Chain A
Amino acid sequence: MDYARGTPGDALTVANALRRPALHFAVLGALLFVLERRVWPPLAPERSAEVVIPANRIAARAERFARDTGRPPTAEERVVLVAEAVDEELLYREALARALDRDDRSIRGHLAEKMRFLEPANGDDAPALTRHAVTLGLDRSDAFVRRVLVEKMRLLARRESEEAEPDDATLAAYMAGSPERWRLPARATVQQVFLRDADPERAAVLLARLRAGGADFARVGDAFHAGPVVPDAARPTLASLLGEAIAAHAFAAPLREWDGPLRSPWGMHLVRVVSRTAPVLPAVADVRPALVLSWREGRRQARERGMLAELRRRWRVVVEEDRGA
């Protein structure tokens, strides 16, 4: 084919245009652009990114399960094994995406060790060994590296909740969310007189005297393991010191009246309930350290769950059939 030699200033004919190298480049560029979009998918992971769990990985988990328990997993248990494998893969991929391997001392040390085995001559230059290992892609298929990254990702998920100290309002709301865990029990202060024998006349006479204010309750009755007053006691304490019946009485009887005789495992008692405190949530200030610890732990667990849920949304997970099952 003969190409007519074009000179600047020639008439802008189609033929002339088709001969210009700039146009050739533009066309070629457009062609490449079209080809790239259609034929080769984008290299960066986007919404349609996929995570594949190979069959042999599930099989390995099933084998470990069998070794630990002495039998193969049931179908239900397999579902859980698969879910664990998926969680682990997602965490691993996220760790890579965040480049958590880049400055990790354990990983670098481990990779250097691997290379040392292959390149004994370079045995002392750890950074060079590590670089070379990475160049060869030794980190990508390494189980140790994988485990370290998964663990780091978990820790990161939990640590991300290491926020500033929660304020009183936050803690009060948290406490109100599970009041049975934090509520202070009802308590009662009880005065008592112990009568070893079950003589109803003696009890009646003493009761009358106490009601009339004619006796010092601390100085009458028989020897007993508890003193004359049991102050500010919750029900279990009253039950252990004075028995179930008096413990129940302490939270039901009218206040400031001598009553009885009431039975205990050891004899009879005349009892006066001096005061009672209703169950109440403590002030945040009184349980702050315990509240903060509990709140932080709750946040950590929620964060870890949230991270895994987010990863499942972002990645498409494909689990290979375990054909050997």
Chain B
Amino acid sequence: MIRALTVSVAFACACLAPPAAAQVGPWQRTETRQSCGSFSALRTPFFGDLHIHTTYSGDAILLDTRAKPADTYVHAKGGPLGLPPFDVNGMATRTAQLRRPLDFAAATDHAEGFGEVDICQTPGLAGYDSSECQGVRSLKGNAVPLFPPDSRFLALLVPYAISVDPMRFSWCGTDGVECLNHASLVWQDIQDAAEAHYDRTAACAFTTFVAYEWSATPGGRNLHRNVIFRNAVVPALPTSYMEEHTAEGLRAAIRQDCIDGLPGCDALAIPHNPNASVGLMFAPTNDDGSPLTAANARARAAMEPLVEMMQHKGSSECRPGIGTTDERCGFESLNRLTLFSLTDTNAAFSPQSYVRTGFLEGLAQRELLGVNPFQMGFIGSTDTHNGTAGDVNEVDWQGHLGTTDATPPFMLNRIPPGGIETNPGGLAVLWAEENSRDALFAAMRRREAYATSGTRPIVRVFAGRYPQAMCNDPEFVRTGYRRGVPMGGELGPTNSRRSPRFAILASSDPGDPGVPGTPLERVQMVKGWIDAAGQTHEKVFDVAGGDTDGAVDPLTCARSGTGHAQLCTVWRDPEFDASQRAFYYARVLENPTCRWSARLCNDLGVDCSNPGSVPPEYVRCCDTVYARTIQERAWTSPQWYEPEGIARLSAYIRNADDPARGTLSLRARAGAATPMPDLATTDFSVSIQDDDQIYSAVVPAGTLQAMPGGGWELLDDSGAVGGLRRLVIRRAGGGLAIDLRTVTLDLSAADPVEHMVEVRFAAGDWAATHVRLWTTRGGRLETH
């Protein structure tokens, strides 16, 4: 594919040429829309919310949430949204509005009850008068405690989410046909709203996704996933917990109904609240209890690249005392085993309910199965049930649960799943070339994402071969992509036996006109690894910043002291062992600020120094179990160190004179741990792609000749096999060396502009990828 050869302003002289017309991301364009004028190969952070409930969710009936997906998107873009309670004219008595708009959002309603929710609220339809619908409607707007769950709510919750054998109401008809008919109307409206608010113009101001929630809660244990579709091509009906009772079943259905079965369709699933899964979320088993196989692990990793580890119902990063002594794990903890359990700080919390310890389990599974099922990135979101996308501000939060947390006493006292223990939630941040569906979806897939606890610090993390003085490099970002991988990426032994360099640049949240941002306190790196004996370990390192005099007065919420506007460092792991598989993620902490509950209690005038004066409904304000101050933070998607990953790769494609007559020359070195493949019995494949395929070759088993002294070679001036003139694979410098050169070939798909290119190798069980920003020089597209 030939693109116009234009001069990108990014690396040329001080020219005044307009931005590059070539817009090549390492992802396909699957939809029709205008090109984004804002395309930037060095990527921009986009802030969004991928977990939002509207009136279409079953629990919205009792919360009296009336916002539809269209209203959610208006709110996400900065417009007002009415909140319950509603007066008799149907007018909202409260309003919510963001101070800063989001860049993207997805309404994710519980798919199990799409039809039932509609029927229960539409007089005249069969089922409207059923005892179940009457029961749920009678809960609407009433001060019914959510615990123990009212029997009328249980009548909906149990068969639709909690039972291990979910079943629709009898009035749904045979095979649920009546309810499914209505479900398709609701699903259509969800799609229409997403389309109506997706900006397909060159302004690229806002992106929506068609999405829903698979709400499996067997026995009360949370296994929910949000299914996000890449574009407007979606199945006729979503697969809910009714249709598939296990996550592996869900993934298979998505594959069948979308990825493989519907041309143009693509989707991924994002689990959330591992902290309420009672150890199921990261258990090394399938949902049906069978042990994970390599195929299971591969399927899971392929379809679940992200986990929502921060939201309204707590952070799932880690828990003090559960596999860690890291005190900072006690941030926004959920102190209940399940969403509907009572608070009990001494309950038997499982290490497999948290991402840090869960990912360590993933490393162990990698050793067992050859595939890591839990190689995931991080996002945050809200899980608002008000339709208030991105409503994460601690300053004026009005709750997330409709009428059941519509007043200060309710917000403080409502027990599971609301109450003082919960929080406004977090945000999903995606590094992408532009604000469009394909670009953002690709960022999710490659895990170039981070979670925040609600604020908007801007964080870059690169891992690779960097100079120690990189923080003085004006081309920090460009160098980052050229010589290593961003957050979420896979990394080989780029520095041989020595530690890769982690280049971290964190900028504080700039704030908005009403609320200034908070300075940063420090950056930490969290490492998890597995040793030769199969034992997993974790360690937290302080890498930048440190104790500051930043403080906040919990009684007035006034901030004082200083912190850092920007923190930059190049860090080496002092305990690095090149033979040990590991993951690394950055945790960026702000100076302390008041928690929403402290602000609320202060605004109410609660004086805890005079206990007798505290009204009974505000007693929790003075309970020292609940933090009054917090340190907002960001967690970057881990980078994954693989001993048999690509350590070095140097390549160029020359095709300037005649793109149809180009040559490829490549030299790669994989780590010492890489086994020499037996290419007498296994194929060897190599492919190079950006937004389309540049080059691909499969050398069938037995084609390469075994070399004396080890290794394999193919020498063929005719290039009969994949255009290869020369392919040599041997041991060199302690690792596996691959040397490749082609004859003249059509390599016109290699766009002659600076952009991200991916090289992939596979031979039997071994596979490795190398993704870098390739540059152009003298008619060559190249990487070193």
Contact = CB atoms under 8 A, between A and B. Distances in A.
B407 to A, nearest CB: 14
Contact of B40 (A77, A213, A229, A239): A229
A114 B507 CA distance: 71
B196 A294 contact: yes
Interface in B1-43: 9-11, 13-14, 16, 18-19, 34, 36-40, 42
B40 A227 contact: yes
Interface string B448-460: 0000000010111
A218 B474 contact: yes
Given A244-B513, A293-B196, A185 B205 contact: yes
Interface of A: 65, 67-70, 73, 77, 80-81, 106, 144, 147-152, 184-185, 187, 189, 191, 193-194, 196, 210, 213, 215-234, 236-237, 239-241, 243-244, 256, 264-267, 274-275, 277, 282, 286-287, 289-290, 293-294
A69 B196 CA distance: 35
Given A187-B37, A217-B14, A232 B474 contact: no
Contacts of B47: 240
Interface in B459-478: 459-460, 470-478
Given A229-B19, A232-B19, A236-B100, A218 B88 contact: no
Given A184-B203, A185-B205, 5 more contacts: A73-B88, A223-B505, A231-B39, A264-B510, A293-B196
B37 A234 contact: no
Interface in B111-157: 122-126, 128-129, 138, 140-142
> Which of B44, B142, B565 has the most chain A CB atoms inside 10 A of its CB?
B44
B203 A234 contact: yes
7 closest A-B pairs by beta carbon, nearest first, are A232-B37, A223-B476, A147-B124, A227-B42, A151-B124, A231-B19, A148-B124
Contact of A227 (B16, B18, B88, B477): B477
B346 interface: no
Contacts of A191: 9
A239 B566 contact: no
B403 to A, nearest CB: 11
Contacts of B125: 106, 148, 151
Contacts of B478: 218, 227
A274 B198 contact: no
A68 B140 contact: yes
A223 to B, nearest CB: 4
A215 B14 contact: yes
Contact of B510 (A216, A240, A286): A240
B200 interface: yes
Nearest to B458: A225
Chain A interface helix/strand/loop/mixed: mixed
A231 B474 contact: no
B510 A232 contact: no
B295 interface: no
A10 B197 CA distance: 93
Contacts of A152: 124
B126 A266 contact: no
Given A148-B124, A187-B37, A193-B474, A236 B101 contact: yes
Nearest to A106: B126
A210 B14 contact: yes
Nearest to B476: A223
Given A187-B37, A233-B38, A287 B200 contact: yes
B287 interface: no
B36 A293 contact: no
A295 to B, nearest CB: 10
B358 to A, nearest CB: 29
Nearest to B20: A231
Contacts of B196: 289-290, 293-294
Contact of A241 (B16, B44, B87, B460): B44
B510 A265 contact: yes
A230 to B, nearest CB: 7
A187 B202 CA distance: 11
A73 to B, nearest CB: 6
B433 to A, nearest CB: 11
A69 B86 CA distance: 10
A237 B510 contact: no
Nearest to A209: B14
A286 B197 CA distance: 13
A287 B201 contact: yes
A265 B565 contact: yes
Nearest to B503: A223
B205 A239 contact: no
B88 A220 contact: no
B89 interface: yes
A232 B202 contact: yes
20 contacts: A68-B141, A144-B124, A148-B124, A184-B203, A189-B19, A193-B474, A218-B11, A218-B474, A218-B478, A222-B472, A224-B474, A226-B44, A230-B40, A231-B40, A236-B100, A240-B458, A266-B510, A275-B18, A290-B200, A293-B196
